[in-house]
């Protein structure tokens, strides 16, 4: 600690500055800036600030011709306070969506992951769709740019659910967003259904194709999850072809995952060829005799041929982050489109009415020769007054009052226009304007129907080549343990209590894979399930060890144990179908020095007959007897069991195996209670295994 802290400021006034509280304020400012100005899109137009500024700059430069991307990037830097690399990268991402930008040159490859050429070599212009849907200076709200020299849009007046069409991904401070792209036509259909008051559903659609399992999509909300698979088919004998890849992957990353899986022994391949260009084509060559279907299942189970995606629809609304579902986002976007169309109609109506008013005034001014009355007026006030008096008798023919600006415009009419005045043409023009006014008013009165017509037009005009690319289907669950190749060998040292795949000098148990689980029983009555590892201690004096898999549910375990050092001996039959990995289960009553005297494993329809040998003493009538496990009801592993004898047992030996009659094929309700207990004991750090 610093002594005499109260004297620091006076003693070192020019060298030390208190920073108490600054971190909290500065970090909050930084976090707010990253969330609002960089990483998360706005609900109003579906764009991040850099994307909005790029599109605005392209609209500034729009003349119908292509512009060098380097020029667009330089122009955007007037609005965006960051480097050119971030702008060009963002622009390439927009272009690769193939919706808002017409591209020319090498813009990279979304399939292979190849990057675009340098910005000085590629060109771009706004697409016709963008020009129709994204821009309208009359309905745009403006703000000053970061240096105060330019005006930039607060939001672009986007009349389309652009956010859901393009998708968005970003990592901010303390939160992130991952909105998956959706199909162009399905978004329009959803908007139309919403406007008609009907329900609708939305599911992702990816440029890279593939197939998607959407049963856990959860409307794109937090906690949802989708599985996406590549399109994998048999090509020729011992050759598999990958035609489409999952969203978020590239052929390079997919091939790398296949090679890693092969190196780990998850699947066997000979070689891979990547022939991808405008379409995906990856050929996977298999060894002779390989099963095509099992190899395809292995690709889905152990490589990026199947990926799991967790959507997270975080957006900015009213300068705050919100988490919404995709249907709610579409509803907000559709309502925003309706409001923008209404504003455009209102502006158009005002312009038409002003146009009608101006032409009508000119007609009155010229047709009634009012312009002659001002020829001899010497002052400006006299001119204004004379024109106003001349128009007075005709004011009832107009739809609004005459202003000074209206009169000033009349004084600016050129003589040539007066001399060529054609009353019939003026009347025709006024009739057309009046018809347009009535049409606009009708559209305003039926704004919902007008919005539906607008969306229908967009679908007809731009949706012809935007069919769904990603197939929606339900995937079969893949058991990785069954698919995986048994490429490891499991060993055990029973006395010392170690098991693993690296203990080659010890007893061999079986072949296994690194995904398998194993079940262990020790002589002191402890049961444990663990995952296969190179070497792990599980407890000394191992009585039984085997793989723990789906076949284990048909196994019945037979146990005779002594309760404590010199206690009563009990016997029981039980199943093991649900456990928590790495947790120890005591199969005895928990007393010290309890010991397992007999242990075996049977199929469900079998039971052991054993001979029990007692320690000799004078009071014993007989020192051995037989015990049939088939007489016992199958109970839970925590059950106490039936008494075998209160005398000391010398040994228990196997005699024979007997078939179980239907009468004895019973499982006690204790097992159900046992499973419930396991479920209650589970915590977040443990994994429950169910079969």
Q: What is the pLDDT of residue 1?
A: 40
Q: How many CB atoms lie within 10 A of CB 413?
A: 15
Tens-place pLDDT, residues 251-262: 999 999 999 988
Instruction: Specify whether the CB–CB gap between 508 and 491 falls below 8 A.
Output: yes
Bridge partners for 241 per DSSP: 233, 283
Same domain flag for 284 and 349: no
Cα(490)–Cα(308) distance, integer angstroms:
31
pLDDT of 550 above 90: no
Other beta carbons within 10 Å of 373 = 14
In 299-439, DSSP assigns E strands to: 306-309, 314-317, 320-323
Q: Are strands 151-155 and 141-144 parallel, antiparallel or unpaired?
A: antiparallel
> Does the residue 347 lie in any domain?
yes
The per-residue pLDDT for 4 is 47
Q: What is the rounded CA–CA span in Å between residue 669 and residue 662?
A: 18
Q: Which of 137, 157, 177 is the last residue of a domain?
A: 157
How far is residue 640's CA from residue 589's CA, in Å, rounded to a whole number?
7
Check residues 73 and 417 and name the one with the higher pLDDT.
73
Residues 301 and 370 in one domain: no
Looking at the fold, whether 610 and 571 belong to one and the same domain comes out as yes
pLDDT level of residue 386 (50, 70, 90 thresholds): confident
Is the pLDDT higher at 66 or at 669?
Answer: 66
C-alpha to C-alpha distance for 213 and 204, rounded to whole angstroms: 10
Per-residue H/E/C for 33-69: HHHHHHHCCECCCCCCHHHHHHHHHHHHHCCCCCEEH
Cα–Cα distance, 470 to 228 (Å, whole number): 9
What value does the mean pLDDT of the chain take? Answer: 87
Range of the domain at 440: 332-462
Q: By C-alpha distance, which of 401, 409, 429 is closest to 362?
A: 409
pLDDT tens digit string along 152-165?
999 999 999 999 99
Q: What pLDDT, on a 0 to 100 scale, did the predictor assign at position 673?
A: 39
Neighbours of 291 (CB within 10 A): 10
Confidence of residue 17 (pLDDT cuts 50, 70, 90): low
Kindly report the CATH number assigned to the domain that includes residue 259.
3.30.1360.40
pLDDT tier at 20, thresholds 50, 70, 90: low
496 inside domain:
yes
Per residue in 101-112, pLDDT tens?
A: 999 999 999 999
Give the pLDDT of residue 662: 45
Confidence at 562, pLDDT banded by 50, 70, 90? very high
pLDDT (tens digit per residue) in 318-338: 889 999 999 999 999 999 999
| 574 in the same domain as 524 | no
* Residue of 658 and 210 predicted with greater confidence: 210
Whether 205 is in a domain gets the answer no
Evaluate whether residue 110 is within a structural domain: yes
Question: For residue 405, what is the domain's CATH number?
Answer: 1.10.268.10
Better-predicted residue by pLDDT, 374 or 80 = 80
What pLDDT does residue 663 have? 42
In whole angstroms, give the CA distance from residue 80 to residue 152. Answer: 10
* Cβ neighbours for 476, distance < 8 A, ≥ 6 positions apart: none
- For residue 388, which of 409, 378, 403 has the smallest C-alpha distance? 403
- Report how far apart the first and last C-alpha atoms of the chain are (Å, whole number): 59
567 and 606 share one domain: yes
- The 10s digit of each residue's pLDDT in 484-534 is 767 788 999 998 899 998 898 899 998 888 778 899 999 999 999 998 888
Kindly give the residue spans of alpha helices, DSSP state H, lying in 77-180.
84-96, 128-133, 162-166
Q: Is residue 248 part of a domain?
A: yes
Hey, is 373 helix, strand or coil? helix
Phi, psi of 222 (to 5 degrees): -60, 140
Q: Are 46 and 334 in contact (CB under 8 A)?
A: no
Q: Does residue 215 form part of some domain?
A: no
List the single range of 13-22, 384-393, 416-425, 569-578 with lowest mean pLDDT. 13-22
Q: What are phi and psi of 372, to 5 degrees?
A: -75, -25
At 102, is the secondary structure helix, strand, or coil? strand
Last residue of a domain, one of 512, 547, 582: 547
Q: Is the pLDDT of residue 677 over 70?
A: no
Say whether pLDDT at 315 is over 80.
yes
Please classify residue 425 by burial: count the beta carbons closer than 10 Å to its beta carbon, then call 0-12 exposed, 13-18 middle and 19+ buried: exposed
What CATH number is associated with residue 140?
3.90.199.10
Q: Are 342 and 291 in contact (CB under 8 A)?
A: no
Phi-psi region of 564 (alpha: psi -120 to 50; beta: other; left: phi over 0): left
**At 481, which helix (H) or strand (E)?**
helix 480-483
Residue keyed to tokens 């193939």: 98
| Domain co-membership, 380 together with 398 | yes
The number of folded domains in the chain is: 5
Count CB atoms within 10 A of the CB of residue 420: 9
**Co-location of 528 and 583 in the same domain:** no
Instruction: List, for residues 406-440, the tens digit of each pLDDT value.
Output: 888 888 888 888 888 888 888 899 999 999 999 99
In this predicted model, which residue has the larger pLDDT, 398 or 229?
229
- Exposed (0-12), middle (13-18) or buried (19+): which is 164, by Cβ within 10 Å? buried
What is the token pair recorded at 9?
Answer: 């400021």
pLDDT at residue 7 above 70?
no
User: What pLDDT, in 10s, does the model give residues 33-53?
Assistant: 888 888 899 999 999 999 999
Catalytic residue list:
121
**Residue 675 pLDDT > 60, yes or no?**
no
Segment 576-592, tens digit of pLDDT: 877 888 899 999 998 98
Residues 51 and 119 in one domain: yes
Q: What mean pLDDT do residues 385-409 have?
A: 86
DSSP state of 601: E
Q: Which of 527, 547, 567 is the endpoint of a domain?
A: 547
> Alpha-carbon distance 52 to 94, whole Å?
11
Pair 586, 671 in one domain: yes
Determine the pLDDT at residue 690.
55
Percent of the chain with pLDDT over 70: 91
pLDDT at position 75 over 90: yes
Alpha-carbon gap, residue 159 to 231, rounded angstroms = 34
Alpha carbon 641 to chain centroid, angstroms: 51
The reported pLDDT for the residue numbered 403 is 87
> Is the per-residue pLDDT at 668 higher than 90?
no
Q: Is 473 helix (H, G, I), strand (E, B) or coil?
A: coil
Name the band, by pLDDT with cuts 50, 70 and 90, for residue 674.
very low
**pLDDT at residue 136 greater than cutoff 60:** yes
Could you give the strand order of the β-sheet that contains 239-244, starting from the edge strand earlier in sequence? 231-236, 239-244, 282-285, 271-274
Q: Please work out, in degrees rounded to the nearest 5, the angle formed at the alpha carbon of residue 224 by the alpha carbons of 221 and 229.
A: 130
Phi, psi at residue 429, to the nearest 5°?
Answer: -65, -40
Is the same domain home to 577 and 691? Answer: yes
288, part of any domain:
yes
Alpha-carbon span 596 to 607, nearest angstrom: 18
Is residue 598 within 8 A of residue 592, CB to CB? The reply is: no
Q: What angle do CA 103, 109, 113 make, to 5 degrees?
A: 140
577 and 656 assigned to the same domain: yes
Distance separating alpha carbons of residues 520 and 542, to the nearest angstrom: 7
Q: Quick one: CA torsion of 241, 243, 248, 253, rounded to 10 degrees?
A: 30
Rounded Cα distance between 116 and 245, Å, is 20
Helices (H), 446-479: 447-462
Would you say residue 211 has pLDDT above 80? yes
Q: How far apart are CA 164 and CA 326, in angstroms?
A: 7
Question: Is residue 39 in some structural domain?
Answer: no
pLDDT at residue number 268: 87
Closest listed residue to residue 367, CA positions, set 306, 325, 299, 418: 418
Range 65-81 average pLDDT:
95
498: closest CA among 534, 525, 527? 534
Are 305 and 342 contained in the same domain? no
């Amino acid at each position: 600690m610093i002594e005499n802290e109260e004297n620091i400021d006076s003693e070192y006034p020019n060298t030390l500055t208190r920073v108490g509280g600054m971190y909290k304020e500065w970090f909050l400012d930084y976090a707010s800036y990253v969330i609002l100005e960089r990483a998360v899109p706005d609900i109003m137009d579906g764009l991040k600030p850099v994307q909005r500024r790029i599109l605005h700059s392209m609209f500034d430069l729009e003349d119908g011709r292509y512009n060098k991307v380097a020029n667009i990037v330089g122009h955007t830097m007037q609005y965006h306070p960051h480097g050119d690399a971030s702008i060009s990268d963002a622009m390439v991402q927009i272009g690769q969506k193939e919706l808002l930008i017409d591209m020319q040159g090498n813009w990279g490859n979304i399939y292979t992951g190849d990057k675009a050429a340098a910005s000085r070599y590629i060109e771009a212009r706004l697409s016709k769709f963008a020009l129709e849907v994204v821009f309208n200076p009359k309905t745009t709200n403006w703000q000053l740019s970061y240096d105060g020299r330019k005006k930039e849009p607060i939001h672009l007046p986007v009349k389309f659910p652009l956010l859901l069409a393009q998708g968005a991904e970003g990592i901010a401070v303390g939160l992130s967003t991952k909105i998956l792209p959706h199909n162009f036509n399905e978004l329009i259909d959803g908007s139309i259904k919403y406007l008609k008051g009907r329900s609708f559903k939305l599911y992702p659609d990816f440029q890279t194709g593939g197939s998607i399992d959407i049963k856990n999509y959860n409307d794109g909300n937090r906690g949802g999850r989708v599985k996406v698979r590549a399109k994998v088919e048999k090509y020729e004998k011992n050759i598999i072809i990958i035609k489409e890849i999952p969203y978020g992957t590239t052929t390079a990353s997919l091939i790398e995952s296949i090679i890693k899986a092969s190196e780990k022994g998850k699947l066997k391949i000979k070689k891979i060829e990547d022939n991808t260009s405008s379409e995906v084509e990856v050929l996977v060559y298999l060894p002779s005799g390989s099963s095509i279907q099992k190899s395809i299942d292995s690709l889905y189970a152990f490589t990026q041929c199947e990926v799991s995606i967790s959507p997270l629809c975080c957006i900015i609304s009213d300068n705050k982050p919100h988490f919404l579902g995709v249907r709610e986002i579409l509803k907000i976007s559709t309502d925003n489109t309706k409001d923008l169309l209404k504003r455009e109609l209102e502006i158009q109506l005002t312009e038409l009415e002003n146009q009608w008013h101006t032409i009508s005034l000119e007609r009155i001014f010229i047709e009634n020769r009012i312009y002659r009355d001002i020829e001899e007026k010497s002052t400006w006030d006299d001119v204004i007054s004379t024109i106003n008096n001349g128009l007075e008798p005709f004011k009832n023919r107009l739809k609004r009052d005459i202003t000074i600006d209206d009169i000033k415009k009349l004084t600016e009419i050129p003589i040539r226009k007066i001399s060529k005045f054609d009353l019939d043409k003026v009347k025709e023009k006024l009739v057309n304007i009046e018809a347009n006014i009535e049409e606009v008013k009708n559209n305003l009165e039926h704004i919902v129907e007008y919005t539906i017509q607008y969306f229908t037009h967009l679908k007809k005009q731009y949706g012809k080549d935007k069919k769904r690319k990603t197939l929606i289907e339900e995937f079969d669950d893949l058991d990785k343990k069954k698919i995986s190749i048994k490429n490891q060998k499991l060993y055990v040292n029973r006395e010392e209590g170690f098991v693993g795949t690296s203990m080659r000098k010890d007893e061999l148990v079986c072949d296994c894979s690194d995904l398998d689980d194993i079940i262990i029983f020790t002589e002191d009555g402890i049961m444990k399930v663990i995952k296969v590892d190179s070497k792990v201690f599980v407890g000394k004096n191992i009585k039984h060890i085997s793989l723990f898999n789906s076949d284990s549910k048909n196994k019945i375990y037979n146990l005779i144990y002594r309760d404590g050092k010199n206690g009563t001996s009990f016997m029981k039959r039980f199943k093991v179908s649900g456990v928590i990995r790495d947790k120890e289960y005591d199969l005895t009553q928990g007393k010290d020095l309890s010991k397992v005297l007999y242990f075996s494993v049977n199929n469900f329809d079998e039971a052991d007959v054993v001979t029990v040998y007692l320690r000799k003493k004078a009071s014993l009538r007989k020192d051995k007897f037989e015990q049939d496990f088939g007489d016992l009801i199958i109970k839970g592993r925590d059950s106490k069991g039936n008494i075998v004898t209160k005398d000391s047992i010398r040994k228990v030996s196997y005699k024979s195996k007997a078939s179980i009659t239907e009468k004895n094929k019973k499982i006690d309700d204790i097992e159900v209670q046992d499973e419930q207990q396991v479920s209650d004991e589970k915590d977040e750090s443990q994994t429950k295994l169910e079969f």
